[in-house]
């Protein structure tokens, strides 16, 4: 039997309070009618943490609360930062780490990404670790090498017990927000490669168990084909998660794939 899919909405720095409230409530209402096999996670900006955790904890709500970033430090004099402990105290269940936008604009290295993952794991929050290559790297045929390095220096340093509580999202940078999706074959090829790296280090059972998602211009039109690939366990959705109807269609695509298998 196929394991449940995961669909994560990464809102990035979008929506004012009223719009955020509206989007969360609409998604909540729409999903309430489903007997969902897909796990849905909403990651709004951190300032709306309470909004999303309140809704996620309501009876019958069909989604989890997530955020987009966390401090690499525990607590203390780090102005503007938000700790994993604070997130846990608000019942945040998932947190994205190492998104390419954070790597590019905020200087996040694999070393920092790993520290953040450890902070999250220590607070029982599932890190969703992003990896992926630039267009230049792909054109130069270096995409496997780049992703391997990212996985080796983060995921492969974890213990098996830690890996069990981590998810990975492969997001080719050239596909993020560009409308240019990786083909299902390209997504499958890289996700199978990532799984093979995990298998080499942790064995088959854990490799099969690990959630590996695809992200990058995933939308209502291409989700079904992407999610049908054997190694694609779901999607990390940016732009298309900002509209309730589009996001729901992506979740429906995940449900269709599960039902057909």
- Cite the active site residues: 99, 171
Closest CA to 155 of 123, 202, 219, 100: 202
For residue 75, the minimal CB distance to ligand PGA (Å) is: 28
Three-state SS for 215? strand
Q: Which two tokens stand for residue 79?
A: 């102005």
**Closer residue to ligand PGA (CB): 28 or 171:** 171
Cβ-contact 217, 239 below 8 angstroms:
yes
Pick left, alpha or beta for residue 91 (phi over 0 → left; psi -120 to 50 → alpha; otherwise beta): left
Q: Which residue number places its CB atom closest to ligand PGA? A: 238
Which neighbouring-strand residues pair with 168? 129, 212
For residue 56, the minimal CB distance to ligand PGA (Å) is: 20
Distance CA 200, CA 163 (A): 14
Closest CA to 55 of 47, 63, 66, 46: 63
For residue 239, the minimal CB distance to ligand PGA (Å) is: 3
For residue 85, the minimal CB distance to ligand PGA (Å) is: 25
**Closer residue to ligand PGA (CB): 87 or 217:** 217
Cβ-contact 129, 151 below 8 angstroms:
no
In the DSSP assignment, the letter for residue 217 is S
**Closer residue to ligand PGA (CB): 96 or 207:** 96
Residue with tokens 């979008």: 14
Closest CA to 206 of 255, 261, 155: 155
**Closer residue to ligand PGA (CB): 56 or 218:** 218
Query: What is the crossing angle of helices 17-32 and 49-56, to 10°?
Result: 20
H or E segment and range at residue 40: strand 39-43
For residue 258, the minimal CB distance to ligand PGA (Å) is: 21
**Closer residue to ligand PGA (CB): 128 or 197:** 128
Binding site for ligand PGA (CB under 6 A): 10, 171, 176-177, 215-218, 236-240
Q: Which two tokens stand for residue 66?
A: 């997530």
């Amino acid at each position: 039997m196929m394991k449940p899919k995961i669909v994560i909405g990464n809102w990035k720095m979008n929506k004012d309070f009223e719009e955020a409230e509206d989007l969360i409530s609409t998604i909540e209402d729409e999903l309430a009618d489903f007997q969902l096999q897909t796990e849905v996670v909403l990651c709004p900006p951190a300032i709306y943490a309470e909004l999303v955790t309140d809704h996620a904890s309501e009876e019958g709500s069909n989604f989890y609360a997530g955020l987009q970033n966390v401090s690499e430090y525990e607590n203390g004099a780090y102005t503007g930062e938000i700790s994993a402990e604070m997130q846990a105290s608000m019942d945040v269940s998932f947190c994205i780490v190492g998104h390419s936008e954070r790597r590019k604009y905020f200087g996040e290295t694999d070393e920092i990404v790993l520290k953040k993952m450890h902070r999250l794991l220590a607070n029982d929050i599932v890190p969703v670790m992003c990896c992926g290559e630039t267009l230049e790297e792909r054109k130069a045929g270096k995409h496997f090498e780049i992703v391997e390095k990212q996985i080796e220096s983060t995921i492969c340093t974890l213990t098996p017990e830690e890996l069990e509580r981590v998810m990975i999202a492969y997001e080719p940078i050239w596909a993020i927000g560009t409308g240019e999706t990786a083909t299902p074959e390209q997504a499958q090829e890289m996700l199978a490669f990532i799984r093979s790296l995990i298998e080499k280090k942790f064995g088959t059972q854990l490799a099969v168990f690990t959630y590996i998602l695809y992200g990058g211009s995933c939308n209502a039109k291409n989700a079904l084909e992407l999610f049908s690939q054997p190694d694609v366990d779901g999607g990390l959705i940016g732009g298309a998660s900002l509209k309730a109807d589009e996001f729901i269609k992506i979740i429906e695509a995940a449900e269709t794939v599960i039902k057909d298998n």
